[in-house]
């Protein structure tokens, strides 16, 4: 604790989200470094080096530089806790260092003046302590942005140091600070005020844990086959390279390059092995692909195979000079004492990006969440296709797993050659290959393949087969073929493309592609052509709204989720929803949508309503996307809309175009749309309100540009909980006041943060910011505690923006005046209990910096955005019902149109049941408990 006394003295941990002053003892693996970008009173960067359980820290006002001619001032500041390394978020106003923070870069580091010590933690720490004490510390950084050797040199001023880049291959005059996004969340620092902070333990930032010996031998993990790429936030995609799959073992004894067949390739590619030797001091295992390029600049397997046949050092050296081979790394299985195979792919990918030292011959494979885009780019670049990997998947050495999926333009697989038929005419001795695969210890016949050969490949294959002639058939059952057959030992592997497997177990339209010397024939088993593998969406767009709550994505699962369909109430409604989704998925820009017995004319389906937002990882969202979302969420949303007068917020040109409120409807409308006529208390008039009681109405409103749905707090249907039976809403003001519409279903507490981000224009309302929402959550929990002390149980939902809506469901025997009075009394009492945080003042200056409790929302005719309604703001957030446990970890942008259907299916019934658990507030008040 003494190490962090200065850090602790500057902070109030009940007011800041920064981690507490905990020194982390022990640990294993390389030392961690972090660079955080911090937008406090001025923008600066903080360099932090792990040592002795804390982070030694320097504030670098202009940030690090990779230009060795740049000497950057680095001010030595107080030690920070180890857990600060992963801190991203907003330090609230009034707290030390208030402002936004992102992890700009992170990785491992080692003192490098006397060699590298990534593998020896104790020696590395000793040298760091010694260097800081002497005022000169030389280190190698391995981060995603900062790589190579740097010096920290103390000046005559005790706390002022200089950060200087040493000369190495990573020196550049390019401005590395221009790469301005977090390596963890992908957001820029100025976006952190609205993007929810997703914390991870600092121990996950870099390879860490108990040191173990490096495995001496492993086999690579393999992918199953899929028929198409997809975009899903739970998956990443890499180009499928056309080369030799290799595991690179790097240790103090040198480099071993093991092929899938178990062949040692280091002597065949000595220059590549020499480059890989620089990747580790004591131990590393890299999974990757050796690739050669043709004269057209595209990968060429034939060039690689020709290179593989070279034997003499002279020929190999000449080939290295003429046609160099590259190693593309796509996984890191072990690094300097830490076995990483059980870590999720998302972490291994980050560790690989950090630890790999790229060179002209050793490169990091690009990866992206957008599978279709990456697949298209990979094909255009001459690669084979794409490989998708689940972010949470462990590395299953030697196994084929559906956690990895490979997609090619045509299906291809490896097969064992068991014989060949006699050729005719110009084909010579070889007519067609007889191929198969191993199953249950037996070689199963798959097909014969006679196309795909040219003169060169015919001669090559024939020459290789001559040495393998055998007396007997190697297949479990003798294939039926026309003509004489020569059997061969099943030791040679051919790659074959084909359309599909037939029901009889044969290949349809097989074509020979090439021999695969890098694959062991004993490992070849059947790979089925895909029939919809795990992770693949069933439709192009229909699955856009069923991902996990933390990751908005288009194309996640089959639409709609079964859990939501069950809530439709009956199979007919569920079937209608599925039919709507299928039509929208296939529709052009204009169509007639059939919804049960009704028809809705849809137009401009590709009009963008929510433009893409890079910070929020949100693609363009169109009218089509809105309709898909509403169709799938309708079983949960419609009960909250039913029988309530509706106010629409229409944005027919999207969220950046004109928007307008519409309460009354005077235009023509379809027959399926219900209305209610209500007397106006402000004018002696009657107005028609729309009522959204069914799916066709909901979709028709979306076609009309309605992005937000706001409803009254009362319903127009009487029931057993109603104090009055009257449904006369239109004959007079008195009739309206005596009707059931004057008795709300709940008392509302509108929690409205008036805490500004500091980026608003003069006169603007507070924009969405994390500090404001966190304070709103705090007050919501205090309100709940107060209400529970009165024997009243509330429920909560997000507004979809910065605020929260807390409800007390009530029996309808309290009119709007009574509900407003209760809300005011409780809100004023809460303000008295917490005067620094809560206010009921209407004056903007008096409520600035506080949570405004707007009890005047409890008025007849006032409306509130309904549960699950989208909001017309960036990110397409929705008003999300939550349990109190969920609220504790929530942020408004956790719940967006693109990701809430699945979570809503899990929690929607609980919240709806709670809303229907009506409390007799009049009786509670009369009893004196309140």
Question: Which DSSP symbol is given to 782?
Answer: H
What span, in angstroms and rounded, lies between the C-alpha atoms of 371 and 579?
A: 27
Displacement of CA 536 from its chain's centroid (Å): 16
Q: How far, CA to CA in Å, does 604 sit from each of 11, 433, 619, 630?
A: 54, 55, 18, 17
Task: Report the candidate in 606, 612, 608, 582 with the shortest Cα–Cα distance to residue 595.
Answer: 582
Half-sphere exposure of 465 (CA within 13 A, CB side): 27
Task: Report the candidate in 707, 614, 720, 694 with the shortest Cα–Cα distance to residue 661.
Answer: 707
Query: Judging by beta carbons within 10 Å of its beta carbon (0-12, 13-18, 19+), is residue 673 exposed, middle or buried?
Result: middle
Query: Judging by beta carbons within 10 Å of its beta carbon (0-12, 13-18, 19+), is residue 764 exposed, middle or buried?
Result: exposed
How many residues in the chain?
Answer: 930
Tokens of 717: 């249907």
Report yes or no: 745 and 810 within 8 Å, Cβ to Cβ: yes
What span, in angstroms and rounded, lies between the C-alpha atoms of 664 and 70?
A: 65
What span, in angstroms and rounded, lies between the C-alpha atoms of 421 and 467?
A: 16
What span, in angstroms and rounded, lies between the C-alpha atoms of 269 and 319?
A: 10
Buried b (16+ CB within 10 A) or exposed e, 231-257: bbbbbbbbbbbbbbbbbbbbbeeebbb
Characterize the bridge pairing of strands 325-335 and 362-364: parallel
What span, in angstroms and rounded, lies between the C-alpha atoms of 271 and 359?
A: 12
In SS3 terms, 795-814 reads as EEEECCCCCEEEEEEECECC
Instruction: Characterise 644 by phi-psi region: left (phi > 0), alpha (psi -120 to 50), beta (else).
Output: beta
E-strand stretches of 574-705: 591-595, 598-602, 608-610, 621-622, 646-650, 660-662, 674-680, 685-691
Task: Report the candidate in 751, 754, 727 with the shortest Cα–Cα distance to residue 738.
Answer: 727
Q: How far, CA to CA in Å, does 154 sit from each of 49, 474, 742?
A: 16, 74, 74
Q: How many CB atoms lie within 10 A of CB 899?
A: 24
**Residues annotated catalytic, as ranges:** 240
Report yes or no: 76 and 58 within 8 Å, Cβ to Cβ: yes
DSSP of 392-426, one letter per residue? T----TT-EEEEEEEE-SSEEEEEEEEEEEPP-GG
Report yes or no: 745 and 864 within 8 Å, Cβ to Cβ: no
Report yes or no: 321 and 315 within 8 Å, Cβ to Cβ: no
Q: How far, CA to CA in Å, does 197 sit from each of 185, 361, 457, 549?
A: 8, 37, 57, 14
Q: How many CB atoms lie within 10 A of CB 316?
A: 17
């Amino acid at each position: 604790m003494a190490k962090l006394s200065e850090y602790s003295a500057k902070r109030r941990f009940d007011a800041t989200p920064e981690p507490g002053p905990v020194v982390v003892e022990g640990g294993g693996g390389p030392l961690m470094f972090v660079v955080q970008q911090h937008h406090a009173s001025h923008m600066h960067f903080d360099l932090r080096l792990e040592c002795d359980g804390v982070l030694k820290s320097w504030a670098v006002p202009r940030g690090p530089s990779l230009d060795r001619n740049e000497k950057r001032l680095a001010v030595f500041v107080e030690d920070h806790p180890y857990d600060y390394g992963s801190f991203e978020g907003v330090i609230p106003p009034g707290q030390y260092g208030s402002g936004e923070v992102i992890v700009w870069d992170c990785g491992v580091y080692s003192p490098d003046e006397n060699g590298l010590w990534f593998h020896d933690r104790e020696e590395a720490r000793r040298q760091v302590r010694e260097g800081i004490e002497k005022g000169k510390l030389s280190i190698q950084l391995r981060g995603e942005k900062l790589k190579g050797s740097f010096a920290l040199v103390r000046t005559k001023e005790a706390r002022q140091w200089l950060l200087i880049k040493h000369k190495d291959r990573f020196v550049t005059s390019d401005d590395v600070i221009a790469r301005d996004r977090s390596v963890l969340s992908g957001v820029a620092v100025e976006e952190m005020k609205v993007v929810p902070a997703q914390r991870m333990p600092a121990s996950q930032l870099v390879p860490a844990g108990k040191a173990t010996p490096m495995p001496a031998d492993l086999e690579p993990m393999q992918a199953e086959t899929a028929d198409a790429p997809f975009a899903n936030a739970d998956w990443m995609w890499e180009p499928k390279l056309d080369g030799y799959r290799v595991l690179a073992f790097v240790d103090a004894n040198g480099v071993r390059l093991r092929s899938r067949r178990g062949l040692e390739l280091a002597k065949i590619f000595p220059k590549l092995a020499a480059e890989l030797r620089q990747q580790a001091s004591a131990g590393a295992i890299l999974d990757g692909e050796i690739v050669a390029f043709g004269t057209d600049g595209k990968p060429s397997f034939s060039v690689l195979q020709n290179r593989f046949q070279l034997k003499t050092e002279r020929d190999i050296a000449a080939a290295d000079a003429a046609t160099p081979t590259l190693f593309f790394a796509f996984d890191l299985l072990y690094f300097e004492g830490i076995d990483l195979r059980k870590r999720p792919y998302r972490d291994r990918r980050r560790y690989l990006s950090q630890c790999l030292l790229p060179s002209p011959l050793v490169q990091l494979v690009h990866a992206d969440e957008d599978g279709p885009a990456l697949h298209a780019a990979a094909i255009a670049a001459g690669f084979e296709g794409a490989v998708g990997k689940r972010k949470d998947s462990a590395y299953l050495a030697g196994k084929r797993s559906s956690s990895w999926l490979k997609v090619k333009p045509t299906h291809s697989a490896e097969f064992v050659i068991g014989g060949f038929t006699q050729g005719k005419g110009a084909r010579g001795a070889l007519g067609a290959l007889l191929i198969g695969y191993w199953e249950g210890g037996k070689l199963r016949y798959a097909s014969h393949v006679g196309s795909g050969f040219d003169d060169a490949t015919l001669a090559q294959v024939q020459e290789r087969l001559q040495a393998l002639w055998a007396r007997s058939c190697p297949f479990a059952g003798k294939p039926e073929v026309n003509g004489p057959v020569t059997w061969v030992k099943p030791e040679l592997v051919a790659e074959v493309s084909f359309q599909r497997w037939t029901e009889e177990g044969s290949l349809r339209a097989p074509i020979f592609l090439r021999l695969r010397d890098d694959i062991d024939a004993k490992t070849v088993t059947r790979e089925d052509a895909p029939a919809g593998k795990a992770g693949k969406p069933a439709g192009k767009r229909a699955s856009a709204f069923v991902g996990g709550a933390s990751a908005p994505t288009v194309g996640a699962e089959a639409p709609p989720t079964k859990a939501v369909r069950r809530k439709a109430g009956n199979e007919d409604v569920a079937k209608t929803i599925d039919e709507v989704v299928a039509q929208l998925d296939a529709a052009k820009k204009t169509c007639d949508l059939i919804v049960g017995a009704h028809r809705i004319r849809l137009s401009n389906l590709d009009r963008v309503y929510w433009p893409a937002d890079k910070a929020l990882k949100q693609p363009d969202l169109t009218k089509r996307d809105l309709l898909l979302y509403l169709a799938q969420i309708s079983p949960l949303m419609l009960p909250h809309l039913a029988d309530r007068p509706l106010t629409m917020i229409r944005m027919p040109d999207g969220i950046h175009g004109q928007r307008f409120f519409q309460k009354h409807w005077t235009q023509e409308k379809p027959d399926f749309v219900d209305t209610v006529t209500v007397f106006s208390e402000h004018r002696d008039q009657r107005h028609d309100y729309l009522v959204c009681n069914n799916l066709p109405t909901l979709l028709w409103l979306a076609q009309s540009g309605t992005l937000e749905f706001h409803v009254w707090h009362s319903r127009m249907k009487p029931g057993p909980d109603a104090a009055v039976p009257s449904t006369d809403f239109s004959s007079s003001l008195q009739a309206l006041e005596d009707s059931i519409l004057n008795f709300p279903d709940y008392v509302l507490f509108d929690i409205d943060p008036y805490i500004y981000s500091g980026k608003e224009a003069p006169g603007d309302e507070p924009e969405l910011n994390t500090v404001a929402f966190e304070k709103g959550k705090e007050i919501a929990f205090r309100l709940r505690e107060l209400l529970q002390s009165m024997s009243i149980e509330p429920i909560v939902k997000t507004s979809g923006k910065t605020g929260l809506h807390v409800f007390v469901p009530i029996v309808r025997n309290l009119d709007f005046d009574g509900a407003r009075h209760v809300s005011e009394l409780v809100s004023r009492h809460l303000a008295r209990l917490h005067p620094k945080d809560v206010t009921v003042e209407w004056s903007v200056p008096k409520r600035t910096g506080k949570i405004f409790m707007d009890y005047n929302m409890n008025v007849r005719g006032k409306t509130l955005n309904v549960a699950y309604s989208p909001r017309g703001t960036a990110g397409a957030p929705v008003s999300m019902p939550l349990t109190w446990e969920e609220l504790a970890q929530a942020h408004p942008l956790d719940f967006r149109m693109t990701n809430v259907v699945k979570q809503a299916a899990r929690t929607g019934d609980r919240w709806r049941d709670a809303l229907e658990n009506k409390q007799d507030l009049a009786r509670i008040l009369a009893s004196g408990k309140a």
